[in-house]
Structure 1
Amino acid sequence: MTTTHDHQPAVPGYIDNKDAQLKRLRRIEGQVRGLQRMVESDTYCIDILTQVSAATKALEAVALGLLDDHLKHCMVHAAHDPSVDLDAKVGEASAAIARLVRS
């Protein structure tokens, strides 16, 4: 699902790390496909769970990288734009952090 937000910077905050993020996501995609093969071949549950944990940690690393880029780029941009509701932007970032913590 794609959402748009008012007063977005001209480029996303992760633009400098885009290639690295894509590389990580492709590696995670491979891990998930490996999980599917493990289930299809009736692999021992604990071995599958170990790989699920690795994929989960890899996704969390991507999320934290995106969050870091957002705070350093998008939030800084918002702080310098008087037309942006900074409280709303802080709330948006806080909600994203809360979703990461609860997962």
Structure 2
Amino acid sequence: MSSYTENKDDLLKRLRRIEGQVRGIQRMIEEDQYCVDVLVQIAAVRAALYKVGFNILQNHAHGCVMKAIRAEEEAGDQAIDELLDVIFRFTK
């Protein structure tokens, strides 16, 4: 089971909203909208995706990583290494 299961409905709702925003950007491009307006919408989508990702990351740390740490030392060390790796990738 994933650590974000309790927030799944909220995450899916946010992702559907982001999907709609991306479609809006596509329409803006098709309609030759002003560059700055398109860029503002792209920034909004990126921020929304970041929030979804951070929410999943937070749940992972408090769920999966915490369980691994409590289970045994070696599993905890591996979970922390994995967490640090994903944080590095997520924040690029």
Tell me whether the two structures share a fold, i.e. TM-score over 0.5. Answer: yes
* Identical aligned residues as a percent: 42
Where do 1:12-23 residues align within 5 Å? Answer: 12-23=2-13
Alignment partners' CA distance in 2, 1:74 and 1:34: 36
Partner of 1:46: 36
TM-score normalised over the length of structure 2? 0.93
Partner of 2:48: 58
| Aligned residue pair count | 92
Which structure 1 residue ranges, 5 or more long, are not aligned? 1-10
Partner of 2:67: 77
Q: CA deviation at 1:96?
A: 1.1
Structure having greater relative contact order (Cα 8 Å, sep ≥ 6): 1
Q: How far does the alpha carbon of each residue in 1:7-28 deviate from its partner, in whole angstroms, 9 at most, with x for none? A: xxxx110011010000000000
Which structure 2 residue ranges, 5 or more long, are not aligned? none
